[in-house]
């Protein structure tokens, strides 16, 4: 069988998609020597790893606990169900529509106003990396004077989580952020308990399920998780959506003309270029899968980026096509399409509807404000990242708004 590039090698980072193809076709179960983790790349196997409870999230303890503390990601069973029920209502339904849509719109408009008269912008640096983090800070009801610090913590947390080479400075900065974030947030939580408002933090303080409420530490850990789970992911989804549409001008024109297609562009972006390429699980017992056996107690890496391009699941999987008819979306909630970008099962992304609302609002406002949006001459978007992935920069040109 052909040699598959190591997932931690520069060759893999430059083009994971051809490595994924080799894996799916020749080595659907690989033991990664350096980390001892087992790699799954076929759609059916990754889907099973998300749904079958023999694949647990126990290993999140060592992965994310040093920076976030204990979050719902690490939990399982009834404890997870209760903790999830405490936070989930804020991310759907009335709360999402009435409280948070105006916040989303405000953040998108403010960023747009920063460059719409310039005729050029970097949609990653000036829009995507700022938009979801600003939304979360406003949802939590943080003082706007603190947004710059919040953004700094965001940068430090995602650097910690993406620190593949184990750079000790990045690790130390992540651990410092855990302390600073707690020092900042505990007094804010205390103030909201005293004097609740109409914000997410107050809702988390008040939430109660079966007599269980969240401690200050639980709330802080959840807010820290939101930085990475709700920030970096949506950031990369927005950036990749624009990169994909700008690379396919006829599909961009179709979306511009018919905005009901924004949703399809979002779903197809999540299939074709998912923000999160790799999700880890741990086996509770020996598992027979992908033609081999994974011993109990092993770490498993679910390659979402590979599964989403499995030719057994999607026709012409390496083509970005918002009109494809084999990406099943439901009318009520197209973000929950059958791609695996939000995972599946009990840890299915809590923020999927929020992400969709952000993308829909952001894309519509940008298309309205920026006529004849196109890539800067000579620029081809380059994806960056291994665990999470998206374009590094997205320089664009457009007709400037008149002053």
* Min dist. Cβ of residue 63 to ligand HEM (A): 10
Q: Which of 239, 343, 373, 394 binds ligand HEM (CB under 6 A)?
A: 343
Span from 101-109, 318-326, 350-358, 372-380 in contact with ligand HEM (CB under 6 A): 350-358
Which among 198, 212, 211, 272 is positioned nearest to 237, based on CA atoms? 272
Asked if residues 264 and 334 have their Cβ atoms less than 8 Å apart, the reply is: yes
Q: Whose Cβ is closer to ligand HEM: residue 27's or residue 136's? A: 136
160, 173 contact by CB (below 8 A): yes
Quote the distance between the C-alpha of residue 13 and its chain's center: 18
Angstrom distance (rounded) from CA 146 to CA 127: 19
Residue 276 binds ligand HEM, judged by CB under 6 A = yes
Tokens representing residue 203 in the block: 């809702």
Choose between 68 and 256: whose C-beta lies nearer to ligand HEM. Answer: 68
Instruction: Examine residue 327 and tell whether it contacts ligand HEM (CB under 6 A).
Output: no
| 341 binds ligand HEM per the rule CB under 6 A | yes
Stretch that binds ligand HEM, among 115-123, 213-221, 228-236, 313-321 (CB under 6 A): 228-236
Nearest distance from C-beta of residue 183 to ligand HEM, angstroms: 22
* Residue 275 DSSP symbol: S
* Residue 325: both structure tokens together: 């008819």
Task: Determine if 153 is a binding residue for ligand HEM (CB under 6 A).
Answer: no
In the bound complex, what is the minimum distance in angstroms from residue 349's beta carbon to ligand HEM?
3
Q: Nearest distance from residue 192's CB to ligand HEM, in Å?
A: 18
CB nearer ligand HEM, residue 177 or residue 388: 388
Q: Which residue is nearest to ligand HEM (CB)?
A: 351
CB distance 251 to 320 below 8 Å: yes
Which of 163, 186, 165 is closest to 175 using CA atoms?
Answer: 163
Q: Take residue 342 and report the two structure tokens written for it.
A: 């939000």
Least distance from C-beta 41 to ligand HEM, angstroms? 16
Q: Does 223 bind ligand HEM (CB under 6 A)?
A: no
Binding segment for ligand HEM among 35-43, 188-196, 274-282, 285-293 (CB under 6 A)? 274-282
Q: Give the pair of three-digit tokens for residue 148.
A: 């710059």
Report the alpha-carbon angle 291-294-297, nearest 5: 170
Rounded Cα distance between 142 and 356, Å, is 23
Dist. CA 339–CA 271, nearest whole Å: 5
In sequence order, the 6+-apart residues with CB closer than 8 A to the CB of 29 are 38, 39, 40, 45, 289, 290, 291, 292, 294
Q: Which two tokens stand for residue 69?
A: 């503390």
189 versus 276: smaller Cβ distance to ligand HEM:
276
* Dihedral of the alpha carbons of 22, 264, 105, 196, in degrees to the nearest 10: -70
Question: Footprint of ligand HEM on residues 119-148 (CB under 6 A)?
Answer: 136
Nearest to 121 by CA among 403, 401, 380, 398: 398
Within positions 47 to 66, which residues make up the interface with ligand HEM, using CB under 6 A?
57
Q: Which of 64, 279, 366, 367 binds ligand HEM (CB under 6 A)?
A: 279
Least distance (Å) between residue 119 CB and ligand HEM: 29
Q: Least CB distance from residue 23 to ligand HEM, whole Å?
A: 19
Q: By CB under 6 A, is residue 363 in contact with ligand HEM?
A: no
Q: Which residues bind ligand HEM (CB under 6 A)?
A: 57, 72-73, 84, 136, 225-226, 229-230, 233-234, 237, 275-276, 279, 341-343, 347, 349-351, 354-355
């Amino acid at each position: 069988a052909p040699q598959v590039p190591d997932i931690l090698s520069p060759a893999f980072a430059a083009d994971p998609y051809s490595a994924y193809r080799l894996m799916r076709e020749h080595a659907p179960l690989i033991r990664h020597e350096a980390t001892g983790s087992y790699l799954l790349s076929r759609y059916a196997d990754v889907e099973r790893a998300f749904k079958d409870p023999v694949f647990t999230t126990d290993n999140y303890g060592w992965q994310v606990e040093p920076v976030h503390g204990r979050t719902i990601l690490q939990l399982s069973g009834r404890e997870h169900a209760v903790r999830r029920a405490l936070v989930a209502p804020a991310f759907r339904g009335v709360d999402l529509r009435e409280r948070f849509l105006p916040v989303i719109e405000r953040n998108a408009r403010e960023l747009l106003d920063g460059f719409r008269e310039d005729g050029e912008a970097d949609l990653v640096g000036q829009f995507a990396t700022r938009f979801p983090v600003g939304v979360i800070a406003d949802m939590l009801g943080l003082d706007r004077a603190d947004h710059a610090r919040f953004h700094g913590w965001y940068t430090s947390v995602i650097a910690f989580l993406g620190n593949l080479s184990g750079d000790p400075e990045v690790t130390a900065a992540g651990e410092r952020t855990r302390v600073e974030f707690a020092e900042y947030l505990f007094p804010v939580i205390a103030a909201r308990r005293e004097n609740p408002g109409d914000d997410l933090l107050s809702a988390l303080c008040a939430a109660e399920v079966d007599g269980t409420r969240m401690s200050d530490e639980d709330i802080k850990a959840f807010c820290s998780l939101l930085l990475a789970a709700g920030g970096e992911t949506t950031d990369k989804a927005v950036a990749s959506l624009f990169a994909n549409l700008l690379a396919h001008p006829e599909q961009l024109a179709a979306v511009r003309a018919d905005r009901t297609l924004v949703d399809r562009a979002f779903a197809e972006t999540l299939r074709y270029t998912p923000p999160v390429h790799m999700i880890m699980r741990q086996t509770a017992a020996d598992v027979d899968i992908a033609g081999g056996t994974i011993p109990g107690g092993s770490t498993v890496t679910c390659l979402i980026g590979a599964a989403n391009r499995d030719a057994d699941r999607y026709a012409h999987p390496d083509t970005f096509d918002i009109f494809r008819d084999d990406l099943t979306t439901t009318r009520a909630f197209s973000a929950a399409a059958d791609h695996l970008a939000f995972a599946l099962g009990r840890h299915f992304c809590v923020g999927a509807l929020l992400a969709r609302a952000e993308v829909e609002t952001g894309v519509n406002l940008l298309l309205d404000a920026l006529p004849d949006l196109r890539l800067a001459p000579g620029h081809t978007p380059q994806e960056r990242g291994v665990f999470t992935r998206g374009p590094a920069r997205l320089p664009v040109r457009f007709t400037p708004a008149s002053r």
